[in-house]
Amino acid sequence: MSKRVGIEVSIAIAEAVGLARAEVIPAYPITPQTHIVEHLSEMVANGEVDAEFVPVESEHAAMSCCCGSIAAGARTFTSSSSQGLSLMSEILYIPSTMRLPIVMVVANRAMSAPISIWNDHQDIMVQRDIGWIQTFAENGQEAVDLTLHAFRVAEDRNVSLPMIVNIDGFTLSHVIEPIELPDQEEVDKFLPPFKPRYKLDPRRPISMGPVGIPEVYTEAKVAHDKAMKKAKRYILKAWDEFEEIFGRKYNPVESYRTEDAEVLLVTMGSISETAMTAVDAMRDAGQKVGLLRIRLWRPFPGQEFRKAVGKAKVLAVIDRCLPPGALCGPVGAELRSLFYKIPGAPKIFSFVAGLGGRDVTVERFEEIVDKARAFAKKRPRELYEVIGVREK
Amino acid sequence: MANSDAIVGWKTITFGCHILEPGNAANFRTGDWRSQRPVVDKEKCIKCGMCWVFCPDMAYSQDEDGYFVVDLEYCKGCGICAHECPKDAITMVPEEG
């Protein structure tokens, strides 16, 4: 039987990776890091996990090593954060078009400058288009569950794409939460051994990573894009199987008190828990407010999102990322694109909040809803608004 | 390299762009874009095989008389053979057209 324990979320993720029987873990624990790979290195050293822990010389090398081990057919895991994730950037595009199902947990953090080790989503938005499947966890339990789910989906031979589970740095990675860790038997039932469609094997030689001349590069990228879109059905299927075994149900888009809502907040990650508290407070005050939380970010679940919006008139989208010079944050842009010229589409207002570890409080969510209502009546001058920024 | 065999659609391109047939580079005329070709002067050649050793594309092979001849299907015209030849028996000649 699985047991519920008080445990740091990073440690719990490491335990989940151990339960998933990861075989190779290349990692370079540069600051800012989490205890995920630190704990995994201890588990490997203690003989609790039968895996190779490869202490490499940089995050660039860590992801390169991941590409090698997954190509050889080993279940591969690594973890990173902010500047380290950016150092991996050159390599991140490679396993996705090559269909190599690495699993990575990213503890989302701000990008320097100024130097910051705190939480927002700017590091992963830099990597938005790397072609990995991406989910966002709200709490520790979900972080553990989505990590197991990631192995199941990525390695599914119908998918065969690398996958990132995003967890908020500090807010999730460094807090102790009550988490139900599944037992080995349940995980083995959910996650069969990794059997790749192709691997580097001297007995059946193939070449991976050849040149893509202009005559084939476009076709290679379109094949990748189609694979991402096709992956959605297997992502959903794996969540259904997860529910059957572990009893917890996951959707691409989570709805909270959206029935008859006029205004919907849209969030990703751990701030959604505060957003739910804010929704409760506003509902108590008689306001028709709800919350949509995007769990599946890539491939973007457009159909599910439109359905979840229902008849709501106003969306207040919160980005934890400020791309200077852009028209709005990446989530705001995605949703504006989704609803462009759709009859009866809600009005979409984009907000930026919670940068570099700044708390987004219940009061801030109330402020956002108030502003969205006001903007629906009188169009704002700017395409997005930064919440809680001081002018003097 | 722009062989018509390589022109595939997104539905037929190999999984992950892998090359599933080992050593299939031999199927492609990699010498197509050569701008100069090596010409061997048999008067000067001492059959030492340095061109064969240094050729990065393994385009040289030995003929019945022991001379080394280049296969222009694969020679990219890099000129390494001409540079390494101890007897200056190889001259790089511009391709015409």
Write out chain A residues lying below 8 Å of B32, CB-based. Answer: none
Residue A375's pLDDT is what? 98
Q: Are residues A31 and A53 in the same domain?
A: yes
A190 and A260: one domain?
no
CATH code for position B78: 3.30.70.20
- A325 domain residue, yes or no: yes
Contact B13 A209 (CB under 8 A): no
- Residues A14, A119 share a domain: yes
Whole-number mean pLDDT of chain A? Answer: 97
Q: Is residue A392 part of a domain?
A: no
User: Would you list which residues of chain B are within 8 Å, Cβ to Cβ, of chain A?
Assistant: 1-2, 6-11, 13, 15-20, 22
Give the domain extent around A297.
253-386
Kindly determine whether residue B22 and residue A206, on different chains, have CB atoms separated by under 8 Å. yes
Domain count, chain A: 2
Structural domain contains residue A391: no
**A164 and A45, same structural domain?**
yes
A216/A299 same-domain check: no
Is the domain of A236 the same as that of A379? no
Best mutation site among B18, B30, B32 for testing chain A: the one with the most A CBs within 10 Å? B18
Chain A hits for B7, Cβ within 8 Å: 215-216
* pLDDT value of position B2: 45
CATH number for the domain that contains residue A378: 3.40.50.920
| A241 and A259 together in one domain | no
Last residue of a domain, one of A201, A220, A246: A246
Which chain A residue has the Cα nearest residue B18?
A208
B13 and A98 within 8 Å at the Cβ level: the answer is: no
A120 in any annotated domain: yes
Residue-level pLDDT at B53: 97
Is the same domain home to A274 and A340? yes
> Residue A84: what pLDDT?
94
Angle between helices A214-246 and A140-155 (to 10 degrees): 130
Calculate ∠ Cα A154-A156-A159, nearest 5°.
Answer: 70
Burial classification of residue B67, based on how many CB atoms lie within 10 Å of its CB (0-12 exposed, 13-18 middle, 19 or more buried): middle
Is A213 close to B7, i.e. CB distance below 8 A? no
Residues A355 and A295 grouped into a single domain: yes
Supply the pLDDT for residue B5: 57
Using CB atoms, which residue from B2, B11, B18 is nearest to A206? B18
Domain count, chain B: 1
CB contact under 8 A, B17 and A215: no
The CATH number of whichever domain residue A202 belongs to comes to 3.40.50.970
Complex prediction ipTM: 0.88
What is the reported pLDDT for B97?
66
Contact B15 A99 (CB under 8 A): yes
Which two three-digit tokens encode residue B96?
Answer: 């015409």
Q: For residues A29-47, b (16+ Cβ closer than 10 Å) or e, as one string? A: beebbbbbbebbbebbeee
Encode chain B (97 residues) as per-residue pLDDT tens digits: 445 555 789 999 999 999 999 888 788 888 888 999 999 999 999 999 999 999 999 999 999 999 999 999 999 999 999 999 999 999 999 998 6
Q: Give residue-wise pLDDT tens across range A244-276.
A: 999 999 999 999 999 999 999 999 999 999 999
A137 lies in a domain?
Answer: yes
Q: Which of B7, B15, B22 sits opposite A215 (nearest CB)?
A: B7
User: Same structural domain for residues A228 and A310?
Assistant: no
Tell me, yes or no, whether A313 lies in a domain: yes
Q: How far is A213 from chain B (nearest CA, A)?
A: 8
Q: Are residues A128 and A195 in the same domain?
A: yes
Quote the DSSP letter at residue B64.
T
| Model pLDDT, residue A267 | 98
Claim to verify: residue A238 and residue A310 sit in the same structural domain:
no
Using an 8 Å CB-CB cutoff, list chain A residues near B9.
219
| Interface-testing mutation among B7, B10, B11, B33, with chain A (most A C-beta atoms within 10 A) | B10
Say if residues A27 and A40 touch (Cβ distance below 8 Å): yes
Residue A31: the pLDDT is 74
- Which residue pairs from A306-311 have beta carbons closer than 8 angstroms and sit at least 24 positions apart in sequence? A306/A338, A306/A339, A306/A342, A308/A253, A308/A255, A308/A258, A309/A264, A309/A346, A310/A258, A310/A261
CB contacts, 8 Å: B2 with chain A: 213, 215
CA distances from A204 to A109, A201, B20, B21 (A): 42, 5, 9, 9
Residue B81 domain boundaries? 4-94
* Spatial contact of A312 and A274, defined as CB atoms under 8 Å apart: no
**Closest Cα of chain B to A99: distance in Å?**
5
- pLDDT the model gives residue B7: 76
What parts of chain A have a pLDDT lower than 50? none
